[in-house]
Amino acid sequence: MIAQIHYNSRKYSIDLSKPIDISIPLRDGTENVSAWYLDPPKIFPVRSEDWVGCVKEGGDVNFNNIHFNPHSHCTHTETAGHITETVHSINKYLNQFFFLAEVVTIPPEKQEDDFVITKRQLQFALGNKKRDAIVIRTLPNLDDKKNTNYSHTNPPYLLEEAAIYLREKGIKHLLIDMPSVDKEKDEGRLSAHNAFWDTEGKLRLDATITEFIFVPNSVEDGTYFLNLMVAAIENDASPSKPVLYKPE
């Protein structure tokens, strides 16, 4: 099915039958992506004295509880409420779902003991393009990103200058394949989060950060339409399912 999209006085065509899902699904157990020192997520049937929510065990339906943290266990999208005193809800402030996005591949640069994404790298990747969203694929890009435990590994992150650049360029939606845009242990500064949402200026409640994506190597860098979908949960963050469509 071909859909026509009008954006900034231009008309694009996308094939809705060719979605590119860049989310990481939530799985029960240790074969799940994780971070922030939490136990693995659990998916388990409800049990009572005389009933079990598992057809295999004799129940009439499968009826599972799911215990997880969206920041730690799956692709998730968050608002500035993640770091502000007021817990601004992603369900309230993400109220548009289609955006023009640029997929870029960045090899993080070594700086002392860290690997970082710099302003210069993003300037080179984006040039003079005007986009609603940026989708950052870091290198190396191996399948084990989908089940890595990132706790205590000091994964790559954005420098504050890079986050400021994206904000000033008008990027509203930042997606990355790491557990955070910030350094794992930074004494609570959260420099990139604060810079992107402009917590010291005019708070950007319409801007989002999505972490723990996975962009397959078969997806070329370039322009896409992004469908960014979240669960209807009143919380600073929600599990999300970002899907790309290549304009034709």
Q: What is 2-25+73-245's CATH superfamily?
A: Putative cyclase (3.50.30.50)
In this prediction, the residues of the chain whose per-residue pLDDT falls under 50 are none
* Helix, strand, or coil (residue 226): strand
Residues 212-238 have pLDDT tens digits of: 999 999 999 999 999 999 999 999 999
Query: For residue 180, what are the contacts with CB-CB under 8 A and spacing of at least 6?
Result: 35, 155, 157, 211
225 CB neighbour count, 10 Å cutoff: 20
**DSSP state letter for 123:** H
Quote the tokens at residue 134.
């940026």
pTM listed for this prediction? 0.96
Residues 94-113 have pLDDT tens digits of: 999 999 999 999 999 999 99
- Quickly list H helices, the chain: 70-73, 90-93, 119-126, 160-168, 191-197
Query: For residue 17, what are the contacts with CB-CB under 8 A and spacing of at least 6?
Result: 1
Quote the tokens at residue 222.
């370039």
